[in-house]
Chains A and B, each alone.
Chain A
Amino acid sequence: MKNLYKLSGLFFFLILLLSSCGFKDIDKRSFVVGIGIDQLEQEQEGYEVTLKMAYPASETKELGNQFQLISAKGSTIAEAIRFIKAKVGNELDFGHMKMIIIGEKILTKDIEKTMDWFTRRRDIQQIALLSVGKPDAKTILSVKPKGERLPSNKLFMFFDETGTESPYVTTKFLYEFRRDLVERGMDGYLPIVESEEDNFSITTMAVIKKGEKPLILNKKETKVFNILKKSYDKESLKVNAQDQFFMLAVDSLNTSYRIKDSKKPKIKFKVDVEGTIEESKVKLRKGKLDKYNKLTEETFKKDIKKLLQKFQDTNIDPIGFGLRYRAMHTGPEKKKWKNWKDLYPEIDINVQVNAEITGTGIIE
């Protein structure tokens, strides 16, 4: 009996050894940290794929500059990657790829087709960060910011909220973007990254709907959008009206919306904001806080309404009103979706802002 166990143990151990061909040593791998997808200029079909590869090193000094950019052209992403494989001696490892940059021009193409490769591959993280590169992805990947510990680390820090937290930066993970592309009633959006010599600048964003031209939001709209979508509260609001000019540092911010389904359907968007005054160009009076509240509410309400109406006019819905509508009604999904598509361009949008200024800072 004992012999039998030993024999079988040996047998299975030998089998384990046989499987070693699946693994390759670390020094024979190049770790892809970022990928850029650009459109080819001459032809209509096809992509130019750029990979940013980091090399494993023994010391942990500043390694931000130690990378290699290799690009190749192909009719599909997979084909371009095959060409890149022929240019690198090492095995490509996508397991650490956290940054996907899509060239601005790709957005006008059928974006779903482009994204297919990313969701199908098992070794690509679904938590990779997505963004749009302006003017193209290759430029963004080739930026060498100062003080970067690992290649592409600066970009990760922008988006995953472990580093900077800016009201202009929108974060989108790969799985979320894919979800939004497929979901009826919610459209996707991506931050736009621009390069400024040795640095990045992320202040705008693009709202993307399958099969349609993307809607590019400017700085102010991006900021308002982040407030609406994420209830982003590390924020300051500029109030400039009636010979008053002050900045409000937001302490807490809550947004919620409801779709009222009465005879005349309307979207009720409610924003509660609380904060202190951070900077003012005119002298402020303590007794006049009520007035300042009102001014804030008015300014803010105008901005929000403008943005929501812009979405409505272009028939784009990144907030997810359509999804909420579907969640509120029973019946077959097709019918609900059709109803919503008819309803959205005409629905009333009602914005309500409650501002509460708790103080004027440590001076009056």
Chain B
Amino acid sequence: MSALKGIRLRTFVIFACAALAGTALLHTSQRVQEAEETLASLEAEIAREQDTMRVLRAEWEYLNRPERLERLATKFLDLVPPSPDTMSDTLIDEAATLPEKPVDNDQAQPASYEAEDTQ
């Protein structure tokens, strides 16, 4: 078009750049908004998961309270707490006579009759 002759190349380039920059800006701002939404939804999800974890942990601790474990152990297990006699006669002797426990590749566990605490 002859009408465009009047516009020099430089001006055209400037307009093109402006349009490009505008498009890029719009695109970026859309991306940011999108990312923010994802972030907010993830954060909300994390908060929900954390709340759920709190509830589950509380329930776990409630179900693992010593009073209940003792009641269930008495009912369902044939085990009794170690007394001085059983500790000396079985555990200590056994520790001496038992063959060595094969060493696990991942971790070697020390022979211990102490119940490990779950943190």
Do A and B interact with each other, yes or no? no
B residues apposed to A, CB below 8 Å = none
